[in-house]
Structure 1
Amino acid sequence: ASSSLMAALGRPFSLGMLYDCRQDSLIPGKALKSPNLIPQPNSEFEIVASESTEDKSSALNVQASLKASFLAGLVEVEGSAKYLNDCKISKNQARVTLKYKTTTKYQELSMRHLGRDNVKHPYVFDKGIATHVVKGILYGAQAFFVFDREVSEKEDHKDIEGSLKVMIQQIPGLVLQGQDSLQLTETDTANVQNFSCKFHGDFNLQRHPVSFQDAIEVYQSLPTLLGANGENAVPVKVWLMPLKILDSAAAQLVRQISIRLVMEVQSVLEVFSELEMRCNDAMKNSTTQQFPQIGKKLKAFGELCSEYKLEFQRTLAEKLPSIRGGKEEEAVLAEVLKMRHSSPFNNKNLSEWMSCKEREINIIEALTDMMKNTKIVTSRYALDKEILSAEHAVCFAFTSLEDDEPYLSDLSKYLKETPEIWNTMRQKSKLFNAFGEIDMDNNISFLIAGLANEKKKGASIHLYKEGSLFSESFEPPSKPEKPAVSDTTHNCVTVRISPPGLGTENITHYSVEYCVSGEDDWQQMTVLTYKIHHKEGFKIPYSFTIIHNEDFPHKFFSSEVFFFKRRVRQIISRLFMSDKLACEIDAVCLVIQASFPGPKLSYRYVFDSMLKLFDEDVAENIRIVVTSADDELPPVLEVIKSSKFPCPKTDSVYRSINM
Structure 2
Amino acid sequence: METITVASLGRPFYPGMLYDCRHDSLVPGLTLWDRDQLLKHLEERPHCYSDFDIVTSDSTEDKSHALNVDASLKASFLSGMVEVEGSGKYMKNSKTSKNQARVTLKYEATTKFQELSMDHLGADNLKHLDILQKGVATHVVTAVLYGAQAFFVFDREVSNDEDIKTISGQLEIAVKNLPSISIQGKGSISLEEKDITAVEKFSCKYHGDFLLETNPVTYQDAVQVYLSLPKLLEAKKGNVVPLKVWLLPLTYFDVSATKLVHQISTYLVCEAQKVLENITDLEVRCNDAMKTTIAQQFPEISKNLKIFKDLCFYLKVKFQRTLANKLPSIREGNEDEDELVEVLVGYQSFFNKTNLNKWMDCQEREIDTLKSITIMMENIKIVLSESDLNKEILSAENVRCFVFTSEGSESYLSTLLKHLHDRADLENPKPYNVTDTKWFFSPDVFNEVKQKARKFTDDNKDDVKRLVVALMDENGEKGAKIQHYADGVLTEVN
The whole-number CA distance in structure 2 between the counterparts of 1:42 and 1:206 is 25
Amino acid across the alignment from 2:367: I
Q: Structure 1 residues 244 and 177, CA, compared in 2 at 3 Å: closer, same or farther?
A: farther
SS in structure 1 opposite 2:259? coil
Q: Structure 1 residues 14 and 295, CA, compared in 2 at 3 Å: closer, same or farther?
A: same
1:19 aligns with 2:19: yes
Amino acid across the alignment from 2:358: E
SS in structure 2 opposite 1:394? strand
Q: Structure 1 residues 175 and 62, CA, compared in 2 at 3 Å: closer, same or farther?
A: farther
- 1:117 offset after TM fit, Å? 4.8
Gaps of at least 5 residues in structure 1 are 426-448, 450-659
Amino acid across the alignment from 2:226: Y
Output aligned runs, 1:153-168, within 5 Å.
153-168=160-175
Output aligned runs, 1:91-240, within 5 Å.
91-174=98-181, 182-228=189-235, 230-240=237-247
Output aligned runs, 1:21-40, within 5 Å.
21-31=21-31, 32=33, 33=38, 34-40=41-47
Contact 2:86 2:208 in 1 (8 A): yes
The whole-number CA distance in structure 1 between the counterparts of 2:84 and 2:106 is 17
Amino acid across the alignment from 1:131: T
The whole-number CA distance in structure 1 between the counterparts of 2:105 and 2:288 is 26
Contact 1:56 1:84 in 2 (8 A): yes
- 1:177 offset after TM fit, Å? 11
The whole-number CA distance in structure 2 between the counterparts of 1:105 and 1:176 is 30
The whole-number CA distance in structure 2 between the counterparts of 1:389 and 1:359 is 34
Output aligned runs, 1:294-313, within 5 Å.
294-313=301-320
Q: In structure 1, what is the equivalent of residue 97 of structure 2?
A: 90
The whole-number CA distance in structure 2 between the counterparts of 1:312 and 1:191 is 41
Q: Structure 1 residues 363 and 176, CA, compared in 2 at 3 Å: closer, same or farther?
A: closer
Q: In structure 2, what is the equivalent of residue 433 of structure 1?
A: none
TM-score (norm 2): 0.81
Amino acid across the alignment from 1:152: S
Contact 1:132 1:242 in 2 (8 A): yes
- 1:390 offset after TM fit, Å? 1.5
The whole-number CA distance in structure 2 between the counterparts of 1:228 and 1:418 is 54
Q: Structure 1 residues 392 and 257, CA, compared in 2 at 3 Å: closer, same or farther?
A: same
SS in structure 2 opposite 1:6? strand
Gaps of at least 5 residues in structure 2 are 429-494
- 1:113 offset after TM fit, Å? 3.6
Q: Structure 1 residues 406 and 173, CA, compared in 2 at 3 Å: closer, same or farther?
A: same
Output aligned runs, 1:411-430, within 5 Å.
411-418=416-423
Q: Structure 1 residues 405 and 229, CA, compared in 2 at 3 Å: closer, same or farther?
A: closer
1:322 aligns with 2:329: yes
Which of 391, 397, 403 aligns to 2:403? It is 397
The whole-number CA distance in structure 1 between the counterparts of 2:9 and 2:185 is 31
Which of 251, 254, 263 aligns to 1:247? It is 254
1:360 aligns with 2:366: yes
SS in structure 1 opposite 2:194? helix
Deviations 1:90-128 (A, max 9, x none): 111111110000000001112224324544532221122
The whole-number CA distance in structure 1 between the counterparts of 2:171 and 2:225 is 18
- 1:4 offset after TM fit, Å? 1.4
Contact 1:30 1:119 in 2 (8 A): no
Q: Structure 1 residues 178 and 21, CA, compared in 2 at 3 Å: closer, same or farther?
A: farther
The whole-number CA distance in structure 2 between the counterparts of 1:206 and 1:176 is 19
The whole-number CA distance in structure 2 between the counterparts of 1:231 and 1:117 is 35
SS in structure 2 opposite 1:225? helix
> Could you say what the CA RMSD is over the residues aligned between the two structures, in angstroms?
2.2
- 1:168 offset after TM fit, Å? 1.3
Of stretches 219-228 and 104-113 in structure 1, the one that deviates more from structure 2 is 219-228
TM-score (norm 1): 0.61
- 1:193 offset after TM fit, Å? 1.2
Amino acid across the alignment from 1:411: L
Q: Larger helix proportion, structure 1 or 2?
A: 2
Aligned residues: 421
Which of 369, 372, 384 aligns to 2:375? It is 369
Amino acid across the alignment from 2:303: K
Output aligned runs, 1:500-539, within 5 Å.
none
Contact 1:30 1:120 in 2 (8 A): no
Deviations 1:588-630 (A, max 9, x none): xxxxxxxxxxxxxxxxxxxxxxxxxxxxxxxxxxxxxxxxxxx
Q: In structure 2, what is the equivalent of residue 333 of structure 1?
A: 340
Deviations 1:182-217 (A, max 9, x none): 443332211111111110000111101111111111
The whole-number CA distance in structure 2 between the counterparts of 1:230 and 1:283 is 46
SS in structure 2 opposite 1:283? helix
Amino acid across the alignment from 2:378: K
Q: Structure 1 residues 364 and 245, CA, compared in 2 at 3 Å: closer, same or farther?
A: same
Of stretches 1-10 and 220-229 in structure 1, the one that deviates more from structure 2 is 220-229
Amino acid across the alignment from 1:241: L
SS in structure 1 opposite 2:309? helix
The whole-number CA distance in structure 2 between the counterparts of 1:8 and 1:177 is 37
- 1:243 offset after TM fit, Å? 1.1
Deviations 1:222-264 (A, max 9, x none): 1122344845310000011111112112111000001110000
The whole-number CA distance in structure 2 between the counterparts of 1:281 and 1:418 is 29
1:410 aligns with 2:415: yes
Q: In structure 1, what is the equivalent of residue 77 of structure 2?
A: 70
Amino acid across the alignment from 2:160: E
SS in structure 2 opposite 1:37? strand
Amino acid across the alignment from 2:336: E
- 1:379 offset after TM fit, Å? 1.9
Q: Structure 1 residues 377 and 315, CA, compared in 2 at 3 Å: closer, same or farther?
A: same
The whole-number CA distance in structure 1 between the counterparts of 2:15 and 2:280 is 37
The whole-number CA distance in structure 2 between the counterparts of 1:369 and 1:248 is 74
Contact 2:15 2:142 in 1 (8 A): yes
Q: Structure 1 residues 306 and 298, CA, compared in 2 at 3 Å: closer, same or farther?
A: same
The whole-number CA distance in structure 2 between the counterparts of 1:138 and 1:117 is 27
Tell me which structure has the larger Cα radius of gyration. 1
SS in structure 2 opposite 1:298? helix
Of stretches 384-393 and 261-270 in structure 1, the one that deviates more from structure 2 is 384-393
- 1:136 offset after TM fit, Å? 0.8
- 1:371 offset after TM fit, Å? 1.9
Question: Greater RCO between the two (CA within 8 Å, min separation 6)?
Answer: 2
Deviations 1:135-172 (A, max 9, x none): 11000000000111110000010111111111111221
The whole-number CA distance in structure 1 between the counterparts of 2:323 and 2:218 is 38
Q: In structure 2, what is the equivalent of residue 349 of structure 1?
A: 355
Contact 1:94 1:161 in 2 (8 A): yes
Amino acid across the alignment from 2:8: A
The whole-number CA distance in structure 2 between the counterparts of 1:348 and 1:414 is 12
Which of 81, 85, 103 aligns to 2:88? It is 81
Q: In structure 2, what is the equivalent of residue 3 of structure 1?
A: 3
Amino acid across the alignment from 2:256: A
The whole-number CA distance in structure 2 between the counterparts of 1:85 and 1:287 is 30
| Stretches (4+) displaced over 4 A | 117-120, 175-182
